[in-house]
Amino acid sequence: MSDHHPRTRMPGAPAPTAAPAPRGPGPRTAAALRAAAPALAVYAAVRALGLLVLWLAAHASGKDPVVRLSGRWDSVWYQRIAENGYGHTVTLPDGALHSDLAFFPLLPALERGISEVTPLTLGGAGLLVAWTAGLLAAWGIYAVGAQLHGRRTGVVLAALWGVYPTAFVQSMAYTETLFTALAAWALYAVLRGRWLSAGALCVLAGLTRPSAAALIAALAITAAATLVPEFRAGGRTGLPLRRNARMLAGVALAPLGWLAYVVFVAVREGSPFAYFEVQAQWGNNIDGGRALAAFIAGLPLPAALGLCAALGLLGWLVVLCVRQRQPLPVLVYTVAIVVISLIGAGYFGSRPRLMMPAFPLLLPPAVALARLRGGWGGRSGRGGVRADRAAATVAGADRGAPPPPGAAEHSPALTAPAQPSALTESAQAAALTAPAVIVLAVLACASAAFGAWTLLGAGPP
């Protein structure tokens, strides 16, 4: 995949042939879901482990695990908006005002709608949205990983996102899973050249979290990087615009959700900068990283060194993403999420959570884990990579893209005496090696323990 030009087919791939491909949205979705089934199963397993550990720890300490997931911190603000609409403000002892206008409307709207048509409470509806969106996010993350590096990498990438240090938030009635699902599928749409779909998903993301600005920037910069060389190449000025009309329409559509909410707050409060003033009252204004530097300077030396080491690891991951030559929209989105999370003046403890939607940061370790040697039944990592190549385009089978060159001679369907079922082929192509499974299992246990400890504590995530 090129760094700058998202397209429908992988570089060097032949034109699509009449190879049998699912037709119609129903069969295409079913085929894509079958391809993603291993990733969804692994993600669901690691999140179920987190919930089990929380339940056991909560009951051992006499606390309600459901309240810990849906009845504290931001969850309460979203549910209040869902029940009463906007207009609630809390005055803190120091005189600071916290308005519910700091929270975007899509999650509370979904909570209200679900609670109206089901027996679920607003808290239960929030959990349903978060857990369903978590699966959709894992599916989208898998699709991006499979598109770029093969299906096994897609499975590992979804699993790593599920064991992220603050992955317990994925089980809470928060917006992280909803936003990540929209972002992942928007990026996948761009990679597949579906700009209108990407723009529509950006609209919804812009109604979910302010960090949708990173997604909007990714689309705009990618479009600019595509159009500028075409203009420089000469020719009639209007030709590149006509040829890329869908791209331009998608880019124009992308910011409308975010802008609509900012305008809503401005009209409601009678000030064009009201939204930014509300965020500043919450301490979420942009200060260029001064608050982060002051926080580190105020820590004891061992803690400060540890935090600097963590920031160094974060920077190293960003460098690896660049060296990996991730496609431009993916790289811009990732870097923008990281920058937005670090240059704000808000509560430092929330910053790892705010960076969680930057799932492409996990692509370098996902690729490394997917290529580990030593598999079940004597299969090596290299053999698994061949299987990955043979099925690398299954995630995008709905576009009828042909298999990568050389896939045919490695396909089990052509060499085995009996042709396996599509489900068997899917499982083989996405099968993880034993070392990868062990690493993911250890990370899942650590993430579950840390999540239970944090949720049963006093501070917000």
C-alpha 194/C-alpha 57 separation (Å) is 45
Question: pLDDT, tens digit, for every residue of 100-134?
Answer: 999 999 999 999 999 999 999 999 999 999 999 99
Copy the structure tokens of residue 318.
């960003």
pLDDT band at 427; cut points 50, 70, 90:
low
C-alpha 367/C-alpha 373 separation (Å) is 12
pLDDT at 345 over 50: yes
pTM of the model: 0.84
The mean of the pLDDT values for the chain is 83
Q: Which range, 24-33, 141-150, 428-437, has the best average confidence (pLDDT)?
A: 141-150
Copy the structure tokens of residue 204.
């919804």
Among 319-328, 367-376, 435-444, the least confident range: 367-376
pLDDT band at 9; cut points 50, 70, 90:
very low
pLDDT band at 329; cut points 50, 70, 90:
very high
Question: pLDDT, tens digit, for every residue of 66-80?
Answer: 999 999 889 999 999
pLDDT at 434 over 60: yes
Among 35-44, 225-234, 297-306, the least confident range: 225-234
pLDDT band at 327; cut points 50, 70, 90:
very high
What's the pLDDT score for residue 266?
A: 97
Question: pLDDT, tens digit, for every residue of 222-233?
Answer: 999 998 887 777
Q: Residue 13: is it exposed, middle or buried by C-beta count within 10 angstroms (0-12/13-18/19+)?
A: middle
What's the pLDDT score for residue 234?
A: 66
What's the rounded mean pLDDT across residues 287-291?
A: 81
What's the rounded mean pLDDT across residues 218-225?
A: 96
Among 80-84, 102-106, 384-388, the least confident range: 384-388
pLDDT band at 25; cut points 50, 70, 90:
low
Q: Which residue has the higher pLDDT, 301 or 3?
A: 301
What's the pLDDT score for residue 426?
A: 52
What's the pLDDT score for residue 242?
A: 78
What's the pLDDT score for residue 429?
A: 61
What's the pLDDT score for residue 401?
A: 39
pLDDT band at 391; cut points 50, 70, 90:
very low
What's the rounded mean pLDDT across residues 349-363?
A: 92
pLDDT at 4 over 50: no
Q: Which residue has the higher pLDDT, 382 or 106?
A: 106
